[in-house]
Amino acid sequence: MDSKLVFSGVQPTGNLHLGNYLGAVKRFVELQDADTMCIYCLVDLHAITNWQDPKELRRNTIEVTAAFLACGLRQENSIIFNQSQVSTHTELAWIFNCVARIGWLNRMTQFKEKAGKNRENASLGLYCYPTLMAADILAYHATHVPVGEDQKQHLELTRDIAMKFNNDFKTPGFFPIPEPIIEGTATRIMSLRDGTKKMSKSEASEMSRINLTDDSDSIRKKIQKAKTDPFEIPSVKEELVNRPEAENLLGIYATLANQSIEKTLEQFSGSDFKKLKDELSDILISELDPINKEIKKLLNEETYIVEILRMGSEEADHISRPILQKTREIVGFLK
Ligand code: AQP
């Protein structure tokens, strides 16, 4: 096993969609299979920064864990757990709230987008979401964090917190400065209804996203109805500028076919969107259908899933507890 330590998290706020799968979970599986120590967390504390129905939160935590397993994460190779069972995260987050500066948090674009115009009424948790995320990562001294493009700014804040802590307490290198892993052709999958918006769980329209739980008919229907433009598919990448929907569909196809965007343009150049949509539906169904079936099967084994999270939480606590203890000593807290 190499010396990297990978950490990442997913909010249990609904079914995982194609963006979560291609931008995050598929990468988690590749890293796990590359013989790297990997810790993957269902970030339920992050989920409640926006109100969640308690029954739904519980159900979503089980469902997202089932999706992790169905996508290929294995308990033998990765630590899989839910954040709220490991209290080191919140304890370290408080210390980081006292390290991070208000000015840093004021620059976070995700808070601005999510709070919208009603900022005064947003939860305090939503505002300090990034310091909890820093604690999630640094509680394990993680060195690498696979995420989608939307998390880049939060990762930069994590790095700033680690550097300021090490500097303020004169403990160079105590917290490693984690590297983001934001690579490949699927770091930002866009909505099927609007190619300028990211595909997201919280978008009202179900037609905007492909869920991992969608059956073949829904996948085909959503792709057939995906927004496009009146032009034919071009032959060069430069001609995709200002055509976000075309770029998105071609990008998804390229990722699933494991080929470059140039090769994909060569394949579809000059044809209309019907051909692209038919072939995209086929390739999506062949990738997602086995996952969909496996999720359904696993959802009948709730006790097994709850047990995986319990065991994962024990392991996560075992790794993060001594790091928190050392942090407490550095800060000057009595034992
Ligand atoms: N559209 C996307 N394309 C590529 N990667 C994505 N990710 C999310 N959306 C895309 C990556 O998936 C991981 C888990 O994301 P998350 O659970 O923190 O949150 P979310 O899926 O972004 O949540 P929503 O509800 O879909 O979106 P919002 O919160 O914007 O409404 C992360 O690594 C993320 O980068």
- For residue 23, the CA-to-ligand 1 centroid distance in Å is 8
| pLDDT tens-place string over residues 204-214 | 999 999 999 99
**Cβ–ligand 1 contact at 18 (below 6 Å):** no
Length of the chain: 335
Tell the residue nearest (CA) to atom 15 of ligand 1.
10
Give the tokens for residue 53: 């129905």
> Concatenated DSSP letters for 134-164?
HHHHHTTT--EEE--GGGHHHHHHHHHHHHH
Q: Ligand 1, closest atom to CA 20? A: 12
**Cβ–ligand 1 contact at 10 (below 6 Å):** yes
Give the tokens for residue 209: 């996203």
| Stretches in the chain below the pLDDT threshold 70 | 1-2
Q: What domains can you pick out in the chain, each with its CATH number?
A: 5-187+302-331 (3.40.50.620), 206-297 (1.10.240.10)
Query: Using H for helix, E for strand and C for coil, what is the string for 238-277?
Result: HHHCCCHHHHHHHHHHHHHHCCCHHHHHHHHCCCCHHHHH
In angstroms, the CA 239 to CA 253 distance is 17
- For residue 19, the CA-to-ligand 1 centroid distance in Å is 7
- For residue 254, the CA-to-ligand 1 centroid distance in Å is 20
**What is residue 136's predicted lDDT score, i.e. its pLDDT?**
98
Q: Ligand 1, closest atom to CA 8? A: 33
Provide the annotated active-site residues: 114, 198, 201
Decide: helix, strand or coil at residue 334.
coil
Tell the residue nearest (CA) to atom 30 of ligand 1.
200
Decide: helix, strand or coil at residue 17.
strand
The residues, any chain, with a CB within 8 Å of residue 12's CB and separated by 6 or more, are: 42, 43, 44, 47, 57, 60, 61, 63, 64, 82
In angstroms, the CA 115 to CA 108 distance is 11
**Cβ–ligand 1 contact at 158 (below 6 Å):** no
pTM of the model: 0.95
In angstroms, the CA 261 to CA 267 distance is 10
Nearest to 291 by CA among 29, 7, 12: 29
Tell the residue nearest (CA) to atom 12 of ligand 1.
20
The residues, any chain, with a CB within 8 Å of residue 93's CB and separated by 6 or more, are: 128, 131, 132, 134, 135
Residue 282 CB neighbour total at 10 angstroms? 15
> Concatenated DSSP letters for 96-141?
HHTTS-HHHHHT-HHHHHHHTT-GGGS-HHHHTHHHHHHHHHHTTT
**Cβ–ligand 1 contact at 151 (below 6 Å):** yes
β-partners of residue 7 are 39
**What is residue 33's predicted lDDT score, i.e. its pLDDT?**
85
Give the tokens for residue 56: 């739904």
In angstroms, the CA 147 to CA 140 distance is 17
In angstroms, the CA 55 to CA 270 distance is 50
Q: Ligand 1, closest atom to CA 146? A: 33
